[in-house]
Structure 1
Amino acid sequence: MNTDLIAPENGVLRRVLARWPTALAVAISIPGFLGGAPAAGALAGSLGNALMMLPLAYLTVAKLGRRRATWPVVVSAIAVVVAARALDLPSPAVVLSTLALAVLVWSVADGQLRRDGCLRVQALGVAGFGALTIAGLALLATRPSLGVVVVAAGWFLHGVWDFVHLARDAVVARSFAEWCGVIDVLLAVQLLLLL
């Protein structure tokens, strides 16, 4: 048996485990690259509706000031998207935007938005990604190919946002920033390949 693969000092398994967020993102993305993804318009609609989940998570974690809250916040945001779809509520983008607005109002009311530069950056992120969400969803209804490109751009740019936060070791858990950056970029590429 070749023990070089699992030797603690230089093993492949050790390197994969150290990069588990990247490995998980790639594993989740593989079916889409193997033909398991829906048509570009359907995928873009789904991803466009979920795009606000990403900046909402950053904003909420920045508001709480607790990086260890990252994964619970993300799981909660995913649950909101699933529940909004299952219960036939307004689009997940509307529900997520409403939650982001509530966090912003809370931050204004307690004065944290004025005092905390990091929170202000996340608020700007919510505004920017919110604009991309609205533009992407509106264009999907009128000019579908352009809408797909705008939604893909939103996911790609959020991947860049993640990698900047990963490099700065700021706001969210490093494991989330790595995982989210990789999956965001891979989803953007999938969307563009489906065009």
Structure 2
Amino acid sequence: MSDFIIGLTGGVASGKSEVTRRFEALGVHVADADVIARAVVEPGQPALAGIVERFGAGMLLADGRLDRRRLRELVFADAQARRELEAITHPAIRAALQAECRAAPGPYAIAAIPLLAEAGGRAVYPWLDRILVIDTPAEVQHARLMRRDGVDEALAASMIAAQVPREARLAIADDVLVNDGHPEHLDAPVADLDARYRTLAGASLL
């Protein structure tokens, strides 16, 4: 059981996956909000029933699974529909994230939440003990997006602009890991953070 939970977030192409892989290599359980977001809309899940009730059975594929593409097209074109979808799925995602972290072995667990700042930070996730922000300068994000996703400079800029400003993420941070170089440079700061979190988790039990 992990009673100490770290929320990990960062902008697009900040290197969140590189960081979480290193924590996992140190034996830390990482609950991924993106993975859970897909799981809560599987057939038989209450959130899927809620989506069908609100948006109709036309949102289902022939096999009863969610037609993600059709739903995505709908909510991207309709801000009210997007808010209604989020009201159905977000509580389920948050509850599943917390449950997975609490059930994890080890002194602490990590909840990887890419849009933590956009969602409202601690006001929406009051059970996070600390928030770790993976911080990357915008020019590095641009270069990584263009290289990783094969997009042009304009699209890379729009992808970054679609998220909250860098300053908004830093404003909710307890800890900041700057990732502006080679992935190998992450090993030492992740090890330092792991040691700190193990100490803090132990102290929280006293």
Q: TM-score surpassing 0.5?
A: no
Structure in which a larger fraction of residues adopt helix: 1
What TM-score does the superposition give when structure 1 sets the normalisation length?
0.27
Structure in which a larger fraction of residues adopt strand: 2
What TM-score does the superposition give when structure 2 sets the normalisation length?
0.26
